Amino acid sequence: MNVEMIFSQIISKKKNLIYQDKKVTAFYDKYPKAPIHILIIPNILIPTANDVTKENKFFFMHMFYAATKIAKKIGIHKTGYRLILNCNKHAGQEIKYIHLHLLGGKFLGPLLSK
């Protein structure tokens, strides 16, 4: 089963979710890169940031809105958190289903390594 199908199942099963509304769903990353690593995905398939359109842009913007709500809910909004959205191979996007990473829970260091 591919990851895109797994994301679709997560949305429909509504299990182990941190947040869900009509536009987005959030859950903990299976392979966390920080003490807190949450994925926020739109409830419709948008493969990459390049695929955001006039018709679906509200899902894209709503992922960022949901991230701020989640950060407050789990208590990292004051110490800080990082939001990452990768687009295609050179940025590190491995899954062709747009997703926003919400990372926190410790000092995360510089954004890019050399």
Q: Can you give the pLDDT at residue 2?
A: 65
Q: Tell me whether residue 90 is one of the annotated catalytic residues.
A: no
Tens digits of per-residue pLDDT, 28-67? 998 999 999 999 999 999 999 999 999 999 999 999 999 9
CATH number of the domain that residue 89 is part of: 3.30.428.10
Q: Look at residue 58 and tell me if it is in a domain.
A: yes
pLDDT digits 0-9 by tens, 73-110:
999 999 999 999 999 999 999 889 999 999 999 999 88
pLDDT at residue 72 tops 90: yes
Above 80 in pLDDT, residue 12?
Answer: no
Active-site hit among 37, 62, 99, 101: 99
Range of the domain at 15: 3-104
Q: Is 111 part of a structural domain of the chain?
A: no
Can you point out the beta strands (E) in 1-114? Answer: 19-20, 24-28, 36-42, 81-84, 100-104
Residue 86 lies in a domain: yes
Triad 44, 72, 97: Cα angle to 5°:
20
Residue 75 φ/ψ region, left for φ over 0, alpha for ψ in the -120 to 50 degree band, beta for the rest:
left
- Tell whether 80 is covered by a domain: yes
